Structures are given as C-alpha cells and as structure tokens.
Amino acid sequence: MVSNNNFQPEQSLPELTPDLFAKADSLDVQDNEKITAPSLSFMQDSWRRLKKNKVAMVSMVLLIIITLLSIFAPVIAPHSPNAQIIEHANLPPKIPGLDISGLNGTVNQNGIRLDKYEQTGVESDVYYYLGTDSLGRDLLSRILYGTRVSLFIAFVAALLNLIIGVTYGLLSGWIGGKTDNVMQRILEILSGVPNLVIVILMLLVFDPGIMSIIIALALTEWISMARIVRAQTLKLKNQEYVLAAKTLGQSSLSIAFKHIMPNLLGIIIIQVMFSIPSAIFFEAFLSFIGIGIPAPDASLGTLINDGYKTFRFLPHLMWYPSAVMSIIMISFNLLADGLRDSFDPKLRD
C-alpha cells in the first residue's frame, strides 16, 4: 500500500490521489526482472521447430487430409467399392467438365479417340472419375476404401508395436541386471529371424485377413523399438533427477513411467512414424505377392497387384493406386524426418 500521508503539496505539482496508484502485485514485479523467453516444455519446443519445417508441415497436412478422406470413405465414395456392374467394365477415367484426353472417357484405339462411355452405352450422367476395373467396379471408390484398409493396418500395427516395444525396452533397461541380460539375449536371438519369413509363415497358418496381417506385423516390428527404448532408458536411469525421485521415496515403477517415459517420448514418436510407412509397404508387398487381403476387400497393395495384371492395356488401374501409395509413403517419410530433426536436442536453438 502506497501511503501519501506525509506528502505536502508545495508547488504546482498535480495532486496525488490514492486512485492514481495500483497495488504492486508481487508477480508483476518479478516479471520485470525476467529477461528470458517464456520457458517451453520439450513438446512445445519441438512443435515450434517442426512448424518452421515447411516440407514436414505440408506432408502432415497431406496425411491428415488423406486420413480424413479414408475415414469418411463411406460418405465420400461415389460408388460402392465392391458393386460389380459388368456392362461398365474397363472404362477409362471420366471427369465432368474436363475435356482432356485421358480424363474425358475416351481411349486411343488405332490412332482414333473413341468415347468408351458412348460405345458401351453408359448413361451420360454416369461418371467414373478414375475409371473402372475389369469387373466394373469404380476405381476411385476402391482406392478410398483401399487406403482406409492400408492405413488401418499400419496404424494398428504401429500401435501394437509401440505398446510391446516400449514395455519390453523400458522393463529391460530399468530393471537391469540379470533380467536385462536375459531379455537382451532373447532379443538378440529374435533379431536374427527374418521378419519376412515369420510373417509369411503366420499368414499361411492363420486365415489371411486384416487381423492376421496386423498381428504378424506387430509381432515382428517391435524389436527395434525395444532396443532403442532400452538403450535410452539405460542412459536416463543414472540422471540426477531420477536419483532425486528415488531419494524422495517414489516407487520404482512410478519413476519409470513418470520420469523416464516422458523423456523417451521424442524417440518413441520418431520410431512410430518410421514404422508406419514400413508397415504400409510390407502390407502392400504381401498383397503384391498374393497373400494379402482376400477379395473382395482391397488394400492399396491388392489394387496395385490387380492393376499390374492388366497394366499394358489399362495402365490407369495400376498407376492411380501406386501414386496414392507413393504420396502416402513420401509424406510419412518426410514428416518422420522433420520430427527427428525437431526432436533432436543437439539442434535446439
């Protein structure tokens, strides 16, 4: 409280009244002393740096759009992905209002452009934006649903791989000693097993389908996650703040999850981001060699495989799903690269 009791107005000074003064808030005073920028948490800081990386941000936006499109595939898809209209088979792409060869429903036959839609007697108000396959199914709808399947498999496999890998690595590194030794020897043996072989064997034994592919991928992909998490845990375990927490009597388990885990977050996120495109690729690979998702459902991989069979005559059936898949893979890789850079403490400015 500022008091003006002893103040004697002598000259022409303006009169001081109590309402000219404000209470000095203790926090305000401290703030005046502060010369640093607001302190950012690790995540905020990384996010700030990621935002500066235009390539990564564009990839992220693209991925969000693609993910949303695939989630809402049932609403967006112009046709049913599995409805077969034999009369509409093998139609080229036709987009309303676009009169560019290749996208207006015409094909080049012996040097003459023929309107395939007219030829096969398709009503003039029916459009297949990306054409149809040999069973008359709309390619655009199939790609939307296929992306949905591919992304679903990749996300769930990455999630399972995250849960198994992080738990295993954290326990192994945190408990240490004999347990760690045994767990590491198990990992060492498992890492010699080619994933490819195990996945293929599992798909032969179990019925092929989305679930068995997810399980096979999750069972084989967690090893590198476990290794990275363990190595990092070993490093973090001897930090002062862990010692402080121990001294304060926190239980071992709560230290592991409350103090070690948040510090592993960056590495875990990067690892997950890299595991998603590899899962997408692996699923596509399995579909391509013919042991993927059974018909009539399709993933991007099965679509590419189907398209490959006729690609000399109907190249669009292969190129469109391939393009979508490539865009997804490129975006994931670029975003993961960006995340790795933004999480790297060495680059912090």
Partner 1 sequence: MKSYTKYLGKRVLYMILTLFLIASITFFLMKLLPGTPYSNQDKLSEEQIFIMNEKYGLNEPIIVQYGIYLLGLVTGDLGTSFQFNNTPVAELLSSRIAPSAQIGIQAVVVGTILGIVLGVISAMKQGTWVDTTATLTAILGRSIPNFVFAVLLQLIFGVWLGWFPIALWSGFASSILPSIALAISPLADSARFMRTEMVDVLSSDYVELAKAKGLSKWEVAFKHGIRNALIPLVTLLGPMAVALMTGSMVVENIFAIPGIGEQFVKSILTNDYPTIMGVTMLYSLLLVSVILLVDVLYGIIDPRIRVATEGGE
126 vs 198, which CB is nearer to partner 1?
198
| Per-residue binding letters, 213-242, with partner 1 (x by CB under 8 A) | ------------------x--x--------
Q: How far is the CB of 172 from partner 1 (least distance, A)?
A: 10
Contacts of residue 73, defined as CB under 8 A and 6 or more positions apart, other chains included, come to 141, 144, 145, 147, 148
> Pick from 326, 344, 347, 348: which binds partner 1 (CB under 8 A)?
326
Least Å distance between CB 86 and partner 1? 27
CA dist., res. 267 & res. 228, Å (int): 8
Q: Site for partner 1 (CB under 8 A): which residue of 6, 121, 312, 345?
A: 312
Is residue 263 a contact residue for partner 1 (CB under 8 A)? no
The answer to whether 325 contacts partner 1 (rule: CB under 8 A) is: yes
Total binding residues for partner 1 by CB under 8 A?
45
* Shortest reach from residue 250's CB to partner 1, in Å: 25
Residue 309's contacts (CB-CB under 8 Å, 6 or more residues apart) are: none
Smallest distance, partner 1 to C-beta of residue 333, A: 5
Nearer to partner 1, 136 or 277 (CB): 277
Contact call for residue 194 and partner 1 (CB under 8 A): yes
Closest CB to partner 1 among residues 16, 204: 204
| Cα 28 to Cα 1, 33, 37, 87, distances in angstroms | 15, 9, 16, 77
Chain centroid to Cα 253, Å, comes to: 29
Q: Which residues pair with 94 in a beta bridge?
A: 104
Which of 143, 170, 214, 334: binder of partner 1 (CB under 8 A)?
334
Q: How far is CA 167 from CA 18, 182, 227, 246, 264, in A?
A: 63, 15, 11, 21, 12
Pairing of strands 106-109, 112-115: antiparallel
Least spacing, CB of residue 31 vs partner 1, in Å? 39
Check residue 322 for interaction with partner 1 (CB under 8 A). yes
CA–CA distance, 286 with 199 (Å, rounded to integer):
9
309 binds partner 1 (CB under 8 A): no
Helix (H), strand (E) at residue 185 = helix 177-191
295 and 209 Cβ atoms separated by less than 8 Å = no
Confirm or reject binding of residue 195 to partner 1 (CB under 8 A).
yes
182 binds partner 1 (CB under 8 A): no
Q: What's the min distance (Å) between Cβ of 130 and partner 1? A: 17
CA distances from 265 to 256, 276, 343 (A): 13, 17, 9
Report the candidate in 143, 202, 161, 186 with the shortest Cα–Cα distance to residue 328. 143
Contact pattern from residue 267 through residue 296 relative to partner 1, giving x for each residue in contact according to CB under 8 A and a dash for the rest: ----------x---xx-xx--xxxx-----
